[in-house]
């Protein structure tokens, strides 16, 4: 059984993290991503809110009772971004998606473990950004 790759999403750009995780999952790696609420979305807070709110708008996306329904929780939003970068409708994509676990904060069983350093962590001085957790809280997520 392959060993799990532990990733810390703190200060990582959400899209780049999702594409990296999708690529590793397709290669057969087990992934555990922690601190999903600390991943960042580049751009202004208003733009990030608009993009996520459009997905949550049930009236524009179908029947509000039947769906499609999108979660407001940061771990589910990040997992959904990873799913969007996988060939999810094929068997290979679904199996790769099952190998990805995403958590808010760090679970007790992973305390003190060594996390992989990602080459694309965002330096806070470079450009405008907002944390995924802040956007999700503004949309109504409670954790």
pLDDT in tens, 35-45: 999 999 988 98
pLDDT band at 78 (very low <50, low <70, confident <90, very high): very high
CATH topology of domain 4-139: Ribosomal Protein L13p; Chain: A; (3.90.1180)
Residue pair 80/70 in contact (Cβ under 8 Å)? The answer is: yes
**Which is more confidently placed, 124 or 46?**
46
Q: Write out the two tokens for 6.
A: 């532990």
Task: Return the number of other C-beta atoms located less than 10 Å from residue 94's C-beta.
Answer: 13
pLDDT computed for residue 124 by the predictor = 57
Predicted TM-score (pTM) of this structure = 0.88
Interatomic CA distance for residues 54 and 60, integer angstroms: 8
Q: Write out the two tokens for 59.
A: 């009236």
Q: By three-state DSSP, how is residue 110 classified? A: helix
Q: Among 63, 44, 47, 36, which residue's Cα sits nearest to residue 132?
A: 36
pLDDT computed for residue 127 by the predictor = 78
pLDDT computed for residue 53 by the predictor = 82
pLDDT computed for residue 3 by the predictor = 77
Report the chain's mean pLDDT, rounded to a whole number: 88
Q: Distances in Å between the alpha carbon of 74 and those of 9, 27, 28, 66, 69?
A: 11, 25, 24, 22, 15
Out of 86-90, 92-96, 109-113, least confident range: 109-113
Q: What is the mean pLDDT of residues 73-81?
A: 95
Does residue 65 register a pLDDT over 80?
Answer: no
């Amino acid at each position: 059984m392959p060993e799990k790759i532990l990733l810390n999403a703190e200060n990582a750009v959400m899209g780049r993290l999702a594409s990296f995780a999708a690529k590793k999952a397709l290669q057969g790696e087990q992934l555990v991503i922690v601190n999903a609420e600390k991943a960042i979305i580049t751009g202004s807070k208003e733009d990030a809110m608009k993009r996520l709110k459009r997905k949550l708008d049930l009236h524009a996306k179908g029947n509000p009772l039947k769906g499609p329904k999108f979660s407001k929780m940061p771990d589910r939003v990040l997992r959904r971004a990873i799913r969007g970068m996988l060939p999810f409708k094929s068997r290979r994509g679904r199996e790769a998606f099952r190998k990805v676990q995403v958590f808010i904060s760090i679970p007790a069983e992973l305390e003190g473990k060594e996390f992989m350093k990602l080459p694309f962590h965002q330096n806070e001085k470079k450009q405008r950004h907002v944390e995924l957790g802040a956007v999700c809280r503004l949309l109504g997520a409670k954790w």
